[in-house]
Amino acid sequence: MEITLALGWLEAVMLAGVRMTAFLFVAPPFSYNAFPKRVKAMLGIGLALAVSPQVVPVYESLDTASYFGALVLEIVVGAALGFLVLIVFSAVQSAGNLIDMFGGFQMAQGFDPQSMINGAQFARLFHLTALALLFASGGYQLIIGGLVRSFTALPVAGGINLAASAEVMIESVSQMFLASVQIAGPLLIVLFLADAGLGLLTRVAPALNAFALGFPLKIFLTLALAGIVFVALPSIVSALTGEAVGLLTGVR
Protein backbone atom coordinates (compact mmCIF):
# COMPACT_ATOMS: atom_id res chain seq x y z
CA MET A 1 0.00 0.00 0.00
CA GLU A 2 1.44 3.33 -1.06
CA ILE A 3 0.37 6.73 0.22
CA THR A 4 1.18 9.74 -1.92
CA LEU A 5 1.66 12.95 0.03
CA ALA A 6 1.85 16.21 -1.88
CA LEU A 7 4.71 18.30 -0.53
CA GLY A 8 3.05 21.58 -1.50
CA TRP A 9 -0.11 20.61 0.40
CA LEU A 10 1.93 19.70 3.49
CA GLU A 11 3.88 22.99 3.38
CA ALA A 12 0.71 25.07 3.05
CA VAL A 13 -1.04 23.24 5.90
CA MET A 14 1.97 23.62 8.19
CA LEU A 15 2.17 27.35 7.48
CA ALA A 16 -1.55 27.72 8.18
CA GLY A 17 -1.14 25.65 11.36
CA VAL A 18 1.66 27.92 12.59
CA ARG A 19 -0.53 31.01 12.10
CA MET A 20 -3.49 29.33 13.80
CA THR A 21 -1.42 28.14 16.77
CA ALA A 22 0.25 31.53 17.30
CA PHE A 23 -3.20 33.14 17.23
CA LEU A 24 -4.63 30.69 19.77
CA PHE A 25 -1.75 31.33 22.19
CA VAL A 26 -2.41 35.09 22.18
CA ALA A 27 -6.11 35.72 21.51
CA PRO A 28 -8.85 35.29 24.11
CA PRO A 29 -10.59 33.11 25.09
CA PHE A 30 -8.04 30.49 23.97
CA SER A 31 -5.08 32.24 25.62
CA TYR A 32 -6.41 31.35 29.07
CA ASN A 33 -3.77 29.16 30.72
CA ALA A 34 -6.34 26.61 31.88
CA PHE A 35 -6.21 25.29 28.31
CA PRO A 36 -3.11 23.08 27.98
CA LYS A 37 -0.58 24.20 25.38
CA ARG A 38 -0.75 20.77 23.75
CA VAL A 39 -4.50 21.19 23.22
CA LYS A 40 -3.96 24.63 21.64
CA ALA A 41 -1.35 23.20 19.26
CA MET A 42 -3.62 20.29 18.29
CA LEU A 43 -6.53 22.68 17.74
CA GLY A 44 -4.34 24.88 15.55
CA ILE A 45 -3.32 21.91 13.38
CA GLY A 46 -6.92 20.72 13.17
CA LEU A 47 -8.10 24.15 12.03
CA ALA A 48 -5.26 24.24 9.48
CA LEU A 49 -6.49 20.95 8.02
CA ALA A 50 -9.99 22.41 7.86
CA VAL A 51 -8.82 25.46 5.85
CA SER A 52 -6.48 23.49 3.60
CA PRO A 53 -8.87 23.65 0.58
CA GLN A 54 -8.68 27.44 0.88
CA VAL A 55 -4.94 27.92 1.37
CA VAL A 56 -3.44 25.17 -0.81
CA PRO A 57 -4.61 26.41 -4.26
CA VAL A 58 -2.99 29.85 -3.76
CA TYR A 59 0.25 28.54 -2.28
CA GLU A 60 3.44 28.29 -4.32
CA SER A 61 6.12 25.88 -3.11
CA LEU A 62 9.22 27.52 -1.58
CA ASP A 63 12.79 26.44 -1.14
CA THR A 64 14.14 25.55 2.32
CA ALA A 65 15.44 28.98 3.33
CA SER A 66 12.34 30.78 2.09
CA TYR A 67 10.10 28.26 3.79
CA PHE A 68 11.69 28.79 7.22
CA GLY A 69 11.37 32.53 6.65
CA ALA A 70 7.69 32.01 5.84
CA LEU A 71 7.25 30.04 9.09
CA VAL A 72 8.62 32.96 11.11
CA LEU A 73 6.42 35.34 9.14
CA GLU A 74 3.31 33.28 9.87
CA ILE A 75 4.14 33.32 13.60
CA VAL A 76 4.29 37.12 13.43
CA VAL A 77 1.01 37.31 11.49
CA GLY A 78 -0.81 34.95 13.87
CA ALA A 79 0.49 36.76 16.96
CA ALA A 80 -0.42 40.17 15.47
CA LEU A 81 -3.99 39.04 14.70
CA GLY A 82 -4.30 37.54 18.18
CA PHE A 83 -3.01 40.74 19.73
CA LEU A 84 -5.71 42.73 17.93
CA VAL A 85 -8.39 40.50 19.48
CA LEU A 86 -6.67 40.77 22.87
CA ILE A 87 -6.76 44.58 22.69
CA VAL A 88 -10.47 44.58 21.92
CA PHE A 89 -11.42 42.37 24.87
CA SER A 90 -9.04 44.18 27.22
CA ALA A 91 -11.73 46.88 27.38
CA VAL A 92 -13.74 44.69 29.77
CA GLN A 93 -10.75 44.12 32.04
CA SER A 94 -9.87 47.83 31.93
CA ALA A 95 -13.43 48.71 32.95
CA GLY A 96 -13.02 46.41 35.96
CA ASN A 97 -9.74 48.10 36.81
CA LEU A 98 -11.43 51.51 36.74
CA ILE A 99 -14.17 50.28 39.06
CA ASP A 100 -11.58 48.82 41.42
CA MET A 101 -9.59 52.04 41.46
CA PHE A 102 -12.53 54.40 42.04
CA GLY A 103 -14.33 52.00 44.39
CA GLY A 104 -11.41 51.41 46.73
CA PHE A 105 -10.68 47.78 45.80
CA GLN A 106 -7.35 48.46 44.10
CA MET A 107 -5.35 47.83 47.29
CA ALA A 108 -6.49 44.19 47.21
CA GLN A 109 -5.12 43.48 43.75
CA GLY A 110 -3.26 40.28 42.98
CA PHE A 111 -1.76 38.41 40.05
CA ASP A 112 -3.86 35.71 38.38
CA PRO A 113 -1.47 33.18 36.79
CA GLN A 114 -4.25 31.57 34.74
CA SER A 115 -5.36 34.69 32.90
CA MET A 116 -1.97 36.46 33.31
CA ILE A 117 -3.55 39.67 34.58
CA ASN A 118 -2.76 41.79 37.61
CA GLY A 119 -5.91 43.29 39.09
CA ALA A 120 -8.35 43.37 41.95
CA GLN A 121 -11.75 41.73 42.31
CA PHE A 122 -13.75 43.41 39.56
CA ALA A 123 -10.96 43.27 36.98
CA ARG A 124 -10.68 39.50 37.39
CA LEU A 125 -14.44 39.03 37.67
CA PHE A 126 -15.14 40.93 34.45
CA HIS A 127 -12.32 39.13 32.66
CA LEU A 128 -13.57 35.66 33.63
CA THR A 129 -17.16 36.65 32.84
CA ALA A 130 -16.16 37.82 29.36
CA LEU A 131 -14.39 34.50 28.72
CA ALA A 132 -17.41 32.53 29.93
CA LEU A 133 -19.75 34.60 27.75
CA LEU A 134 -17.57 34.00 24.70
CA PHE A 135 -18.02 30.26 25.10
CA ALA A 136 -21.66 30.39 26.21
CA SER A 137 -22.77 32.65 23.35
CA GLY A 138 -20.66 31.00 20.64
CA GLY A 139 -18.60 34.16 20.19
CA TYR A 140 -15.42 32.08 19.98
CA GLN A 141 -16.79 30.54 16.78
CA LEU A 142 -17.12 33.99 15.23
CA ILE A 143 -13.52 34.76 16.20
CA ILE A 144 -12.30 31.54 14.60
CA GLY A 145 -14.42 32.32 11.55
CA GLY A 146 -12.76 35.73 11.31
CA LEU A 147 -9.34 34.08 11.56
CA VAL A 148 -10.25 31.68 8.75
CA ARG A 149 -11.36 34.58 6.55
CA SER A 150 -8.04 36.31 7.23
CA PHE A 151 -6.43 33.78 4.87
CA THR A 152 -8.26 35.52 2.04
CA ALA A 153 -6.77 38.91 2.89
CA LEU A 154 -3.41 37.51 4.01
CA PRO A 155 -2.53 34.33 2.08
CA VAL A 156 0.04 32.00 3.62
CA ALA A 157 3.63 33.17 3.07
CA GLY A 158 2.20 36.41 1.68
CA GLY A 159 3.35 38.68 4.50
CA ILE A 160 1.59 41.54 6.25
CA ASN A 161 1.67 45.30 5.92
CA LEU A 162 3.29 46.28 9.22
CA ALA A 163 2.53 49.97 8.78
CA ALA A 164 -1.18 49.30 8.32
CA SER A 165 -1.19 46.80 11.21
CA ALA A 166 0.49 49.32 13.54
CA GLU A 167 -2.10 51.91 12.60
CA VAL A 168 -4.90 49.44 13.33
CA MET A 169 -3.34 48.57 16.71
CA ILE A 170 -3.04 52.22 17.70
CA GLU A 171 -6.65 52.81 16.75
CA SER A 172 -7.69 49.68 18.66
CA VAL A 173 -5.89 50.80 21.82
CA SER A 174 -7.67 54.18 21.63
CA GLN A 175 -11.04 52.47 21.17
CA MET A 176 -10.23 50.09 24.04
CA PHE A 177 -9.74 52.97 26.49
CA LEU A 178 -12.89 54.66 25.23
CA ALA A 179 -14.91 51.45 25.57
CA SER A 180 -13.63 50.80 29.10
CA VAL A 181 -14.75 54.28 30.19
CA GLN A 182 -18.14 53.75 28.54
CA ILE A 183 -18.63 50.38 30.27
CA ALA A 184 -17.71 51.61 33.75
CA GLY A 185 -18.98 55.17 33.17
CA PRO A 186 -22.31 55.08 35.09
CA LEU A 187 -20.70 53.64 38.20
CA LEU A 188 -17.73 56.03 37.97
CA ILE A 189 -20.13 58.99 37.85
CA VAL A 190 -21.89 57.79 41.01
CA LEU A 191 -18.58 57.34 42.82
CA PHE A 192 -17.42 60.78 41.70
CA LEU A 193 -20.63 62.35 42.99
CA ALA A 194 -20.13 60.52 46.29
CA ASP A 195 -16.63 62.01 46.59
CA ALA A 196 -18.00 65.46 45.74
CA GLY A 197 -20.75 65.09 48.33
CA LEU A 198 -18.28 64.04 51.00
CA GLY A 199 -16.10 67.03 50.12
CA LEU A 200 -19.04 69.41 50.55
CA LEU A 201 -19.97 67.71 53.82
CA THR A 202 -16.43 68.20 55.11
CA ARG A 203 -16.63 71.90 54.28
CA VAL A 204 -19.92 72.22 56.16
CA ALA A 205 -18.90 70.13 59.18
CA PRO A 206 -15.09 69.81 59.38
CA ALA A 207 -15.22 67.94 62.69
CA LEU A 208 -17.27 65.15 61.14
CA ASN A 209 -14.27 63.79 59.20
CA ALA A 210 -16.49 62.71 56.34
CA PHE A 211 -13.60 61.23 54.35
CA ALA A 212 -13.18 58.57 57.04
CA LEU A 213 -16.67 57.44 56.07
CA GLY A 214 -15.81 57.61 52.39
CA PHE A 215 -14.12 54.22 52.09
CA PRO A 216 -17.02 52.07 53.41
CA LEU A 217 -19.53 54.28 51.56
CA LYS A 218 -17.76 53.89 48.21
CA ILE A 219 -17.36 50.14 48.71
CA PHE A 220 -21.09 49.87 49.49
CA LEU A 221 -22.03 51.90 46.41
CA THR A 222 -19.69 49.85 44.22
CA LEU A 223 -21.13 46.53 45.39
CA ALA A 224 -24.69 47.80 45.17
CA LEU A 225 -24.44 49.28 41.67
CA ALA A 226 -21.91 46.95 40.03
CA GLY A 227 -24.78 44.64 39.11
CA ILE A 228 -25.95 47.24 36.59
CA VAL A 229 -22.65 47.01 34.73
CA PHE A 230 -22.56 43.23 35.13
CA VAL A 231 -26.02 42.80 33.57
CA ALA A 232 -24.85 44.77 30.51
CA LEU A 233 -21.80 42.55 29.94
CA PRO A 234 -23.50 40.07 27.52
CA SER A 235 -24.39 42.80 25.04
CA ILE A 236 -20.97 44.40 25.52
CA VAL A 237 -19.15 41.13 24.81
CA SER A 238 -21.34 40.58 21.74
CA ALA A 239 -20.42 44.02 20.39
CA LEU A 240 -16.73 43.46 21.13
CA THR A 241 -16.85 40.11 19.33
CA GLY A 242 -18.21 41.77 16.21
CA GLU A 243 -15.49 44.42 16.41
CA ALA A 244 -12.78 41.76 16.80
CA VAL A 245 -14.06 39.85 13.77
CA GLY A 246 -14.07 43.07 11.79
CA LEU A 247 -10.43 43.71 12.69
CA LEU A 248 -9.43 40.18 11.70
CA THR A 249 -11.05 40.45 8.29
CA GLY A 250 -9.91 44.04 7.69
CA VAL A 251 -6.15 43.62 8.21
CA ARG A 252 -4.14 43.71 5.00
> pLDDT digit string (tens) for 60-101?
777 778 888 888 888 888 888 888 888 888 888 888 888 887
Distance between CA atoms of 87 and 119, rounded to whole angstroms?
16
pLDDT band at 175 (very low <50, low <70, confident <90, very high): confident
> pLDDT digit string (tens) for 189-239?
877 777 777 777 777 776 666 667 777 777 777 777 777 777 878 888 888
Q: Is the peptide bond before 155 cis (omega within 30 degrees of 0)?
A: no
Is residue 34 classed exposed, middle or buried when 0-12, 13-18 and 19+ CB atoms within 10 A define those classes? exposed
pLDDT band at 104 (very low <50, low <70, confident <90, very high): confident
pLDDT at 162 over 70: no
pLDDT at 59 over 60: yes
Q: What is the separation of C-alpha 35 from the centre of its chain, rounded to a whole number of angstroms?
A: 16
Q: Which residue has the higher pLDDT, 96 or 164?
A: 96
pLDDT band at 250 (very low <50, low <70, confident <90, very high): low
The residues that bridge with 110 in the sheet, in sequence order, are: 119
- pLDDT at site 234: 81
Q: What is the mean pLDDT of residues 183-191?
A: 78
pLDDT at 3 over 80: no
pLDDT at 58 over 80: no
- pLDDT at site 232: 79
Q: Residue 222: name the closest of 105, 93, 139, 52 by CA.
A: 105
Q: What is the mean pLDDT of residues 2-21?
A: 79
- pLDDT at site 211: 66
Q: What is the mean pLDDT of residues 93-122?
A: 74
- pLDDT at site 49: 87
Q: Residue 236: name the closest of 77, 90, 49 by CA.
A: 90
Window from 26-30, 46-50, 192-196, 212-216 with minimum mean pLDDT: 212-216
Could you give the percent of the chain with pLDDT greater than 90? 0
